[in-house]
Amino acid sequence: MFYAVKLSKDTDGAWLVDVPALPFVHTHGRTREAALARAVEAVLTGLEMLVDDKVEIPRPLQAAPVRGDAVRLSALVAAKIELHNAMLAQRVGKYRLGKLLDWHLPQVDRLVDFRHQSKLDQIEQALTALGRRLVVTSAA
C-alpha cells in the first residue's frame, strides 16, 4: 500500500516532502533518500493523529503511482487503517469493540496502533466482529 508524496528542493538544498492525501503531513531530509525514509515516519504520525481525532483515514493506493514518488506502508498498517475506518463507519469505539471480542482495552488499543506489530488474525477477528472481512491479494 502506498501514499503518493511530492518532493521538492528547498532553497538550502534540503528535500521537502508533502503527502497530498494527508495535507498536514510534511517532512524533509538532507538527501532525497533521507527525506523519503523520514516520510514513512511522518505518515505514521499523521495516521496516529487521525485515529486520536476519530477521523476517517484516506485509503492508501493499492500500487505505487506510475509517475512520482510514494511511501510504502505494510499490509498490517493497511489492515489497521481499514479497521479504524470500519469502526468509525459503524460508530463502534474501542470499548465496544473490546466487548464484542471479549478482549481487554489495551488489546484493542494495539489494533489501531500503527507501530505495534499486531497479528493479522487479530485484525481479521476485529473486522469480522464488525461484519467485515479482510481480503488479501498480491500483484506482480
Q: Cβ-count burial of 63 within 10 angstroms (0-12 exposed, 13-18 middle, 19+ buried)?
A: exposed
- Look at residue 7 and tell me whether its pLDDT is greater than 80: yes
Cell of 36: 523519503
Report whether 118 contacts 81 (CB < 8 A).
no
Does residue 104 register a pLDDT over 80?
yes
Q: Which residues pair with 26 in a beta bridge?
A: 18
Using left for φ > 0, alpha for ψ between -120 and 50, and beta otherwise, residue 13 falls in: left
> What is the overall mean pLDDT for the chain?
93
Residue 104: partners with Cβ closer than 8 Å, 6 or more residues away: 98
pLDDT tens-digit map of 65-80: 888 899 999 999 999 9
| 138: pLDDT strictly greater than 80 | no
How high is the pLDDT of residue 40? 94
Domain locations in the chain as residue ranges: 2-72, 75-129
Q: What pTM value is reported for the model?
A: 0.89
One CATH from 3.30.1950.10, 3.30.565.10, 3.30.160.250, 3.40.50.300 for 2-72: 3.30.160.250
